[in-house]
Amino acid sequence: MTMHERVVDGDNPLLEWAMPNLIYLDAVSAVPPRPETIAAMHPYLTDAWGNPLSPHLAGDRPKEAVERARGQVAALVGAAPAEVIFTASGSEANNLAIKGLAATAAARHRRHLIVSAVEHPSVTASCRALEAQGFTTTVLPVDSTGRVDPSRLQSELTAWTAIVSIQAASSEIGTLQSIAELGSLTRRAGVPFHVDAVAAAGRIPLDMASLQADAMSLSSNQLGGPSGVGALIVRRGIRLEPLIHGGTQERGRRAGLENVPGIVGMGVAAELTRAELSSMASRVEPLMARLRDGLLMTLDGCQMTGHPTERLPGHLSLVVEFVEGEALVMALSRDGIAAAAGVTCRERTAWRASPALLALGFEQALAQGAVVFSLWRGNTQEEVDRAVPLIAQHVAHLRALSPIYAARVR
């Protein structure tokens, strides 16, 4: 299946799917790779294919490319290039942060983990794996908008706390956390603070120093880079035990031959994202307001989830009564609309009520009606205007199949 280009804002070519009528409203899962990233990757898939560690000419160009990308990714979050560790995904970055920092802390008999109730599965699963090794986990509750109370974090910090991991923003409900305040508490307590910024990077400004973060996870495909590449930024001076042992790649923090083409693509995407960051919200927020208002005015029994204002630009999360979110997403897909029914890192057959929505206090039945729409720089007003009535039609059709809804109508 081939792709073709279209032009947005005059001279900004963006890749579009071969299905020209696809309305892509799932940018929080991934965005199409930028043409510039694909062009930058090409030489490292063809002639510049050498191993960056090779002590000869074939390794020089790949090594220079990896180090250039390291600087580009570091600049996106105000870090130093030496603090960047390239990984295969944001999930791996989260695993490396939590397990790597915990292993270092365990040597000082610190075996207490703190996370929030709305973290990504890669964070919660990492904690469960550590619990099998004798760690304990405190799960911080969130309020009805999905935010952590900083005073609750402060009360849970102990002399035995190994790491605190709080996401910058939720991909499911869009809520932004007060990361700078949380980071100040952990810094004063001398506890490493990890921030999962996969959903936030490229949508809001991030600066590790002002956020007082010790580690931060990123993913390439959220920035317009290729899939299969991520990064963990670890503040200088913070010790981290590697998960993958072997060679000396990534300064000994992650062994294995680097994915040079993918890293190059992520670097270019990070640089372009940084340049466009100041205009990101102004591009997507008017369209999101149009989508939100159109759906809320058209659909009854539909409510927003997450924080009403402290949320990711271009993100809309809803629960729809008498409709299962996965059924709605699948129906929309058949009609050319891409959306999400919650966190994306699980098999399509494993859909269930979102733990994040349950943590917000939603009942199981209503939480299963979750649907997420997220916009990117390539969306248009025409797409939004086409999407609203189609979404409403599919909700009406699914409700017509529900005996519970029929009984309510009667």
Q: How far is CA 272 from the centre of its chain?
A: 18
Long-range contacts of 37-44, Cβ-Cβ distance < 8 Å, separation of 24 or more = 37/224, 37/225, 37/226, 37/264, 37/265, 37/266, 37/268, 37/269, 37/272, 38/226, 38/265, 40/264, 40/265, 40/267, 40/268, 41/226, 41/261, 41/262, 41/264, 41/265, 42/261, 44/260, 44/261, 44/264
DSSP, collapsed to helix, strand or coil, labels residue 146 as: coil
Contact (Cβ atoms closer than 8 angstroms) between residue 138 and residue 132: no
What's 197's DSSP letter? Answer: -
End-to-end CA distance of the chain: 48
Phi and psi (nearest 5°) for 228?
Answer: 85, 20
Rg over alpha carbons for the chain, rounded to the nearest Å, is 22
Which residues in 106-255 belong to E strands, given as ranges? Answer: 112-116, 136-140, 161-165, 193-196, 215-219, 230-234
Q: Give buried/exposed letters for 65-87 (b at 16+ CB in 10 A, else e).
A: bbbbbbbbbbbbbbbeeebbbbb
What is the spatial distance between Cα 155 and Cα 246, in angstroms, rounded to a whole number?
40
Instruction: Kindly state the helix (H) or strand (E) to which residue 304 belongs, with its residue range.
Output: strand 302-304
Give the residue numbers marked as catalytic: 345
What is the spatial distance between Cα 214 and Cα 203, in angstroms, rounded to a whole number?
21
DSSP, collapsed to helix, strand or coil, labels residue 21 as: coil
What's 201's DSSP letter? Answer: B
